[in-house]
Structure 1
Amino acid sequence: MAELFASGRVVDIVLALVALEAAALLVWRRRRGRGPSPLALIGNLASGAFLMLAVRAALTGADWTVIAGLLLGSLVAHITDLCLRLRDDQPGAVGRRSQSSEPGTSAETTAFNRRNQAGMISS
């Protein structure tokens, strides 16, 4: 087990699992018409992948510039992901649905409306 970490192979295994997760989510979206868009998925997973690669580089004794570059890559991917999310939340965004129209719990859902009618939550 120690060799798995010392060689950085543990990160390779995690990255393979992340790739499988991405593939499964893309297949889910294609079949069900729901789920994250491919661009949003790539932005989100790329940030984590760069972080994992930075850990792998640190475990294997890579130069600090390599580690810094991978951390910078993670930052860029993270900022890109945030920009995409913020753009998607803008009212009237062309071709995009805001998060408020997604299924889930919000102040507009039936569960909250029932509670409001019962006087449990006040505005």
Structure 2
Amino acid sequence: MDAVSAFFASGHAADLILIVLLAEFVWLVARGARALDVALALGPAVLIVFALRGALTGADWPMIALPLVLSFPVHIADLKRRGMLGKPPRP
């Protein structure tokens, strides 16, 4: 197995993405964004990457499905927080 294949098969590719998301969270909060707002915005991505990590490492299907299912209500909460639910679409 070459190095890139091993990098993905080990789940380290997902770990790298999680590190980047954590760095983005810290950077945005340090620039004055509210931590809850940033967490709601990045939360779905974090959960999807957890599911990706499970898929890459051969986790059982519930360990892949659960974070995927949980990402949806977090996404809805973020949309609601932004006031994007219940408004008519812009023309």
Q: TM-score, normalised by structure 2?
A: 0.83
- Show the counterpart of 1:11: 14
Aligned residues with identical type, % of pairs:
34
- Show structure 1 runs of 5+ residues with no match: 30-35, 91-123
Alpha-carbon deviation of 1:68?
Answer: 1.0
- Show the counterpart of 2:58: 61
What is the aligned-residue RMSD (CA, Å)?
1.6
What secondary structure, in the 3-state scheme, does the structure 2 residue paired with 1:86 have?
coil
> CA–CA distance in 2 between the matches of 1:38 and 1:48?
16
| Aligned residue runs from structure 1 range 88-107, under 5 A | none
The reply to whether residue 47 of structure 1 matches residue 50 of structure 2 is no
> CA–CA distance in 2 between the matches of 1:65 and 1:14?
22
Higher relative contact order (CA 8 A, sep 6+): 2
